[in-house]
Structure 1
Amino acid sequence: MEKRYVIGIDFGTESGRVVLVDADNGDEIADHETRYAHGVMMERLPGSGKRLEPDWTIQHPGDYLEVLRHSVPQVLRASGVGPGQVVGIGVDFTSCTMLPVDERGTPLCMQDAYRDEPHAYVKLWKHHAAEEESARIDELAAARGETFLGRYGGKGSSEWMLAKIWQTLNEAPHIYETAHRFMEAGDWIVYRLTGNPVRSGCSAGYKAFWHKTDGYPSPSFLKTLDPRLERLAETKLSGEVRPIGTKAGGLTEEAAALTGLLPGTAVAVAVIDAHAGVPGSGAVKPGQMVMAMGTSLCHMMLSDKEAAVEGVRGVVEDGIIPGLYGYEAGQPAVGDLFGWFVGHAVPAYVQESSDGEGISVHVWLEREAARQKPGGHGLLALDWWNGNRSVLAETDLSGLVVGMTLQTKPEDIYRALLEATAFGTRKIIEAFEASGVAMHELFACGGLPRRNRLLMQIFADVTGREIKVAASSQTTALGAAMFGAVAAGSERGGCADIAEAAVRMAKVREETFRPNPEHKAVYDELYREYCRLHDLFGRGGFRVMQELKRIKLEQNG
């Protein structure tokens, strides 16, 4: 029988990557990356250079189409695989990454009339300019006793769809009125591939307050929030919500010409990027947690029961693995935090030393930091450089390092930042356990587990858990490809369900990271102090971080 393959398309923050995967065993045959030409825009619009307001983060949807145009044909050329051998396509995307489109599905920013309108562009997942709208949503939902808020730890986010849509309505009502739909970027890509404007139950569940029984927040709630929003669900959010692991449709003639694949090729419903890493790591059972470790860190927990967990950013039935409750928690700055330090806070001599040795600054710092014992630098940090997602859900919090002296070195601060992210993860794990959601296995995927051994050992030591690392370097794309195999179905050489796909296609590395008992004992002491700092600045009414941000905005407004 002719070999069958599936394609996973992973749209990240800076680029999109396509991976061609053997549908029988999960071997990754070829991959190709396309960087987004416009990148992440935080200061100005392309073309006109119009200045963006603080906390804006946008992208250009044309960059996503270039991934389809360049990377999909490239993996076919590189592998020699024929278009007819590809039986399924899966798409994963950052979320909530949202854009307004017209009735034909064309993004408004790609039309001449709206090229100079910030609200016509894609609002990236880390767009934080809808904080006021998010706070009002939380206040009203709490006052009305809305049940949907409890599924999100009692608090929404400015990163999510409703807050972003309402910001558009408040600041650019003409864009809101012109938009036929507001779509998750992952759903929009599937729309462009299939012609079907279906919505992912994963994205809708975690980022739009959607529930498989209750639907979106009620018209009554939305009308009280803003009378103009009363019919939002039936108009601007129209489109069938389908569970992940189902088929959204087949490739259109236009999409086939764009990608070099055959018309009719099965396309799966989109999935959030981090969530795709769960089956991509082989986790499909209750009690398994997967840490997707990249620019941010997303914690996905699988369970056979639903519980209220402090700071959880969503619990959705069938949201990650069909048949289970999928919980999401997270830390919004991990790789970004280490990158910030390397890019903006190391002295010249570190760069000179690393250049002289022919290694990167990251590698130099990791090596020097690894020579220290836990607690040997005398520092303690809070990892809130991009706010706190779990368990406090407070975007206005900021970073902190305590204990610096005139003897403090760059590698000391670097290690303290690594440790702070591990402490934040332990806080999240303990929140799950306190709510009766047990964790039995811990997996890690993404770029950081493969690049930074010190970080992974610190995570094992701090949490006291063995950490298994996904074998694939493209775990989210592999997970997306696995959903593509399920969309194709076993009769066409795919898989009957995601559990079968995980058995056939997912792998973990033989090497694991096990906690060092001596190190854990020291980290237990440091963690107690971390919790004191965490609660002082996060719960204790000590709002210096928020006040600093307020003053900054006033002075730069």
Structure 2
Amino acid sequence: MFGGEQEPDNYYVGIDVGTGSVRAAVVDQRGVLVAYSEQPIKKWEPQFNHHEQSSEDIWAACCVVTKKVVQGMDLSRIRGLGFDATCSLVVLDKQFRPLPVNHEGDSRRNVIMWLDHRAVSQVHRINETKHSVLQYVGGVMSVEMQAPKLLWLKENLKETCWDKARHFFDLPDFLSWKATGVIARSLCSLVCKWTYSAEKGWDDSFWKLIGLEDFVADNYSKIGNQVLPPGASLGSGLTPEAAKDLGLPTGIAVAASLIDAHAGGLGVIGADVRGNGLICEGQPVTSRLAIICGTSSCHMGISKDPIFVPGIWGPYFSAMVPGFWLNEGGQSVTGKLIDHMVQGHAAFPELQAKATARCQSVYAYLNSHLDLIKKAQPVGFLTVDLHVWPDFHGNRSPLADLTLKGMVTGLKLSQDLDDLAILYLATVQAIAFGTRFIIEAMEAAGHSISTLFLCGGLSKNPLFVQMHADITGGDGKNEQSWESCVPKT
């Protein structure tokens, strides 16, 4: 694999931490994927809407997958390492030891996950302030951002966590610190999830107003007063300890990190589409919308000038693409919602058995089953009497209402495999209609979008891609590769 005269000189390692697993990849200097590995990570849900992880478990998984992907390589040819991760909150004490983010006092669980909704009261109070920083998160802060989670820790775990805490990291920044010993934060994380401004820095009045004046008093050292653009080289590179953990050479360059969705957005927004017949060929990158679809979905659009879209996060300057403003729409659960609907159905055991017998995933089986029952009409019309409202975890965009609930209308008494397949289809369609709703809000505010680019786990599902094409007005041209492109007409 690594021999031969045509082999490029340099390789790069990327580590991607998602909600349920860590992935590592080696790419060559042309961007060609050389090796890939995946490792699950632990999640805890001690009570409803509380979602926690362990930073030590996540780092251990990073080490496992990295050692696998570089096995057999000439390590001297690895030139760089980069991390991206979910925007979860990591809490450490002054010795960089984990602190508990739970009432049980379990310090292993020192990460409040991005999808955690424990800070509902806190985010309502923050939004009631109407502070000017809220203009840059669509007018209403999300419970999934870091300020309400920090306030919850202060108000609920003062003695066991808050008073002992010395470092609050976004998970991507924790990983780059773990690799280099550098506590600088990425502009991507701080701008998108912490209210930092790339132009003005921190706003003291906001933190004082919401009751977190602690950060102002210590010059923001606990949450970041050294800020670097994504991709900037950190310190002296990989430390000897981290190099041993990861199976990589000491001193290789480590880049300032990105949030996982933003790493995906950067990749597809900048994709070379020449010769692919897409209508965005020859158009500015501002005509593209990146949709990163996994456990949740993020909708990334960029502009030369700031565009304020009600209910859509941003505009964030240089948080993803340098020199451009980013607007970020999203759906709090997409992959998780599909799993919830399918796995909770009475026919799920039958589906599992039949899919296993065919050596297929349950979703590949469902897609083929829909083709069997659609008869002469297009598959989308199977849901003419069944409809799903997908906000089972609240609405992130563009309604920005975390109190919203999900709904299914048109159910029958039967619960066979046909019913499960059609409910699955209706759920996928509901998610696609949510994307259309977000696009319409962005275009009404001033964006001009011609092409959707999908990446992430759900982009590998042809039904998911086709429904997004049908419902947003495209033709569903799907490249079976790292990215999937969905042109709009």
Report the TM-score, using the length of structure 2 for normalisation. 0.87
Indicate the residue corresponding to 1:86 in structure 2. 78
Deviation of the 1:273 alpha carbon: 0.4
1:214-363 equivalences under 5 Å are: 214-218=200-204, 220-226=205-211, 229=214, 230-231=216-217, 234-249=220-235, 250-281=237-268, 283=270, 285-347=285-347, 348-363=349-364
Partner of 1:395: 402
> Which residue of the other structure, out of 429, 447, 454, is the alignment partner of 1:444?
454
Q: Check the 8 A contact 1:318/1:326 in 2, yes or no.
A: yes
Higher helix share: 1
Of residues 70, 92, 96, the one that matches 2:64 is: 70
Which letter maps to 1:106? R
- Whole-Å separation in 2 of the counterparts to 1:74 and 1:168: 37
Maintained 8 Å contact 2:465/2:478 = no
Whole-Å separation in 1 of the counterparts to 2:212 and 2:223:
16
Change (3 A) 1:2 1:446: closer
Offset of residue 54 of structure 1: 3.0
1:457 touches 1:514 (CA, 8 Å); kept in 2? no
| Corresponding residue of 2:156 | 171
2:164 matched to 1:197?
no
Alpha-carbon distance, 1:363 to partner: 2.4
**3-state DSSP of counterpart to 2:292:** strand
Post-superposition offset of 1:91: 0.4
Deviations 1:187-217 (A, max 9, x none): 1111111111011111111101110122223
Residue 6 of structure 1 aligns with an amino acid whose one-letter code is: Y
Matched, 1:455 2:464: yes
Contact 1:99 1:123 in 2 (8 A): yes
User: 1:262: how far off?
Assistant: 1.9
Per the TM alignment, residue 367 of structure 1 is displaced from its structure 2 partner at its CA by 2.2
1:135 and 2:120 correspond: no
| SS of equivalent to 1:166 | helix
Q: What SS does structure 2 have at the residue aligned with 1:159?
A: coil
What code does the residue aligned with 2:393 have? N
Q: What is the root-mean-square deviation of aligned Cα atoms in Å? A: 2.4
Q: Which moved more, 1:250-259 or 1:223-232?
A: 223-232
Distance 1:438 1:413 in 2: 33
Q: Does 2:34 match 1:29?
A: yes
% identity of equivalent residues: 30
- The more displaced of 330-339 and 341-350 is 341-350
CA contact (8 A) 2:453 2:486 kept: no
Which has the higher relative contact order, 1 or 2, with Cα contacts under 8 A spaced 6 or more apart?
1
Q: 1:242 to 1:365 in 2, by over 3 A?
A: same
Match of 2:4 in 1: none
Secondary structure in 1 aligned to 2:286? Answer: coil
CA contact (8 A) 1:297 1:331 kept: yes
| Aligned-residue offset at 1:117 | 4.3
Gaps of 5+ in 2: 1-6, 272-284
Residue of structure 1 equivalent to 2:98: 107
- Indicate conservation of the 8 Å contact 2:219/2:225, yes or no: no
Contact 1:245 1:322 in 2 (8 A): no
Other structure's SS at 1:248 match: coil
Equivalent residues in 2 for 1:376-415, closer than 5 Å: 376-377=382-383, 378-406=385-413, 409-415=419-425
Residue among 413, 417, 428 paired with 1:418 = 428
Deviation at 1:134, TM superposition (A): 0.8
Q: Does the Cα contact within 8 Å between 2:99 and 2:165 map onto a contact in 1?
A: yes
Amino acid at match of 1:386: H
Secondary structure of 1:326 counterpart: strand
Q: How many residues align?
A: 456
1:152 pairs with 2:137 = yes
Q: Distance in 1 between matches of 2:132 and 2:38?
A: 42
Please state if 1:211 is matched with 2:194. no
User: Separation in 2 of the partners of 1:41 and 1:467?
Assistant: 37
Residues 330/292 of structure 1: CA separation in 2 closer, same or farther (3 Å cut): same
Deviation at 1:294, TM superposition (A): 1.0
SS at match of 1:64: helix
Cα distance, 1:152 vs structure 2: 0.9
TM-score, normalised via structure 1 length: 0.77
Give the deviation of 1:251 after TM superposition. 0.9
Could you tell me how far apart the structure 1 residues matched to 2:188 and 2:455 are? Answer: 19
Deviations 1:62-105 (A, max 9, x none): 1122123222222111xx3222111111100001x111112333
**Contact 1:443 / 1:468 at 8 angstroms: preserved in 2?**
no
How many angstroms does 1:108 deviate by?
Answer: 2.5
Counterpart of 2:61, as a letter, is: V
CA distance in 1, matches of 2:110, 2:452: 37
Give the superposition deviation at 1:369.
2.8
Tell me the amino acid that sits aligned with residue 376 of structure 1.
Answer: L
Once the 2 structures are TM-superposed, how far is the Cα of residue 438 of structure 1 from its aligned partner?
Answer: 1.0
Q: State the shift of 1:55 in Å.
A: 1.3
- In structure 2, relative to structure 1, the CA distance for the partners of 1:333 and 1:346 (3 Å cut) is farther
Per-residue deviation, residues 274-325 of structure 1 (Å, max 9, x unmatched): 1111232253722211111111111111211211112112321111111111
Contact 1:199 / 1:241 at 8 angstroms: preserved in 2? yes
Judging changes above 3 Å, is the alpha-carbon distance between structure 1 residues 221 and 360 closer, same or farther for their aligned structure 2 residues? closer
The amino acid across from 2:472 in the alignment is T
| 1:427 matched residue in structure 2 | 437
For residues 361-409 of structure 1, give each alpha carbon's deviation from its aligned partner in whole angstroms, at most 9, with x where no partner exists.
3223222334433333311211112221101122221211122234672
Q: 1:465 and 1:269 mapped to 2: Cα distance?
A: 36
Partner of 1:369: 370
> Which shifted more, 250-259 or 117-126?
117-126
Contact 1:2 1:85 in 2 (8 A): no
Structure 1 residues 227 and 208: CA distance shift in structure 2, 3 A: closer
In structure 2, how many angstroms separate the alpha carbons of the residues matched to 1:216 and 1:119? 30
Unpaired segments of 5 or more residues in structure 1? 44-52, 474-507, 518-557
Please tell me the residue identity of whatever aligns with 1:428: I
Distance 1:102 1:239, change over 3 A: farther
Equivalent residue of 2:382, what SS? coil
Q: Determine the C-alpha separation between the residues in 1 that align with 2:291 and 2:443.
A: 16
Given that residues 442 and 466 in structure 1 are in contact (C-alpha distance below 8 angstroms), is that contact kept between their aligned partners in structure 2?
A: no
Task: Quote the Cα distance in structure 1 between the aligned partners of 2:96 and 2:224.
Answer: 12
SS in 2 for 1:330: strand
Helix, strand or coil: the match of 1:189?
A: helix
Q: Please give the secondary structure, in 2, of the residue aligned with 1:290.
A: strand
